[in-house]
Chains A and B, each alone.
Chain A
Amino acid sequence: MDFAMHDAEFTLYHEIGHLLVGEFGLPVLGKEEDAADALAVILMLTDEANPDESANALIDSANGWYFDAVKSTGSGVDDFAYYDEHSLDIQRAYAEVCMMVGAEPETFGETADSFDIDPEQQEACQGTYDQASQSWDVVLADAYATDKPGKKITVSHENAAKGSEQFEAELKKRQVLEKAATLISSRFNLPRDLKFVGMQCDEPNAWYDPESGQITYCYALTSDRYDLFINDILPSMTVGGVAPPPSRTAGSKGG
């Protein structure tokens, strides 16, 4: 459940990246999906309220991408994946870890090592993180909150479907949506009132809708992450049960 909640945090901050692009009309010259991933890392690493929690959440979400990749691309990459607006799951894992180790080499050096990112690349990642962090800072310069009270983000949870009640309850208990909403509304001068909504959905997903100004997070995604951990990650963990290092052998398991 910790793993699923950590993934939910990363996912929310990723969607908040899309939200900031949409609400403030930010210039995106590469893939917006990668930009949103980068912002998620930056926001979580600069959330001084919960540094340890953020670090663990980032490690878990990178592992999530990694194990997704083992499942989805272990048996080959089709053209659809190449032209998707998202990078491949495995690229997202590496990019996330690169940002992490670039920002905090001490905290995340071990994680980067376990992803086989060599020392030279880890050092280059500092440039990657700095560029992303500075770029977001520049484009958000006018968006940072001033003394004026900004607009509000309303958080709500719709009822979960039978079998998913535990996920709705856990999200509420940990205030995952509420904490993200508070961070964003206090840090930025939002141009209008926005909504963060937890709901069941048919598929494991989360999205920002620029028209309604709403981020939707699906309990089906929590459930999906929960299953990934139980079925794929847990079995590969070492007996000691420390952080699951995605070893090379795991990479060849296939789907």
Chain B
Amino acid sequence: MTRILAALLGGILLCSSGHVLAQDYTDAQRGQAMDFAISSATQVLYHEIGHLFVAEFGLPVLGKNEDTADNIATLMLLEGGEDFADQVLYDAAQAWYLSPFNGDNPPDDATLIDEHSLDKQRAFSIVCLMVGNSPEYYAQIATDYGLDADRQQKCGDIYRQSSASWASVLEPNKLGDRELVGTITVTYEDPGDYTAEMEAMQADQFLDYAAQVVSENYLLPRDLQFKATQCGTANAFYSSGDSTLTFCYEFIRHLAELYLSNGMAEDDAGAGEDDEAE
């Protein structure tokens, strides 16, 4: 069953040309944009892993499947103890917040019918779980997103419920001392015009690292594949029928362009302090 992640991003794609990246920005700014793209895309990757868990482990989804995948992604990042997790969460919240609807325009009907929550709702859900996890540590981002004290307190309840739920459904599927059954094969297919995106993904070990985390910690019932490829659209999805998680190069470019088109790149970026993503 294919789960389309980025149906909502279609509108943005209309103004993507790819040439924006090449011509209007400095190398340093493009580097920043790519770092942001890879970082925020990591949340998307974990979201698809959420779908993978639901499908492979038969997890119960009582509400919306897409919100479940989002929350699994956020919880894995919040509780996984990875160095990069905080940055991923900040960048992902920002990417969703900046995504399609700015201003006061109500979203259109197709977007409201969609099984995904609205992009802004997805941003707030990430921030809510963050501040629910640690009100002190994430106080600033909660304030930045306008979550008042009352809301922050509710986020504590939501976090505790989600975290406990996640722990309970996950427990039986942890690998523990058991022997591996399924493993994950990673491939980066022909990038076409997306060489820069592919190279950034590979340098980051984007798919490889997540595949390792999943296969070493959970008892996968069968062999699976993580695949980067050209899709013709900015998307990512897990297909249970193909046992394949697909991440489109176009999505990485979309996120980089989102960063640049929102003026997030600094003018003197990278002058002297070039911080490569790991």
Contacts and interface: CB of A to CB of B under 8 A. Distances in A.
Contacts of B115: 124, 128
Contact of B169 (A29, A38, A98): A29
Contacts of A55: none
A94 B121 contact: no
B147 A28 contact: no
Contacts of A95: 64
A27 B163 CA distance: 9
Nearest to A93: B112
A30 B146 contact: no
Contact of A29 (B61, B101, B105): B61
Contacts of B62: 21, 26-30, 35, 38-39, 132, 135-136, 139
A30 B60 contact: no
Interface stretch (A56-64, A73-81, A145-153): A73-81
> Chain A at the B interface: mostly helix, strand, loop or mixed?
helix
B231 interface: no
A142 interface: no
Interface in A234-251: 248, 251
B106 A76 contact: yes
A94 B61 contact: no
Nearest to B101: A77
A121 B113 contact: yes
B1 interface: yes
B61 A76 contact: no
Contacts of B227: none
> Chain B at the A interface: mostly helix, strand, loop or mixed?
helix
Nearest to B120: A82
A82 B63 contact: no
A31 B63 contact: yes
Interface residues of B, number: 45
A154 interface: no
B95 to A, nearest CB: 15
Which of B67, B101, B128, B168 is packed against the most chain A CB atoms within 10 Å?
Answer: B67
Given A82-B118, A82-B121, A30 B109 contact: no
B104 interface: yes
Contact of A76 (B67, B104, B120, B154): B104
Contacts of A248: 109
B128 A83 contact: yes
Contact of A28 (B107, B145, B161): B161
Contact of A77 (B107, B109, B145): B107
Interface in A107-124: 115-117, 121, 124
Contacts of A186: none
B158 interface: yes
B65 to A, nearest CB: 6
Contacts of B168: 27
A21 B62 CA distance: 10
Contacts of A82: 118, 120-121, 123-124
B117 interface: yes
B165 interface: yes
Interface of B: 1, 58-68, 70-72, 101, 104-107, 109, 112-113, 115, 117-118, 120-121, 123-124, 127-128, 145-147, 151, 154, 158, 161-162, 164-166, 168-169
| Closest A-B pairs by Cβ, 4 of them | A30-B67, A27-B165, A30-B63, A34-B63
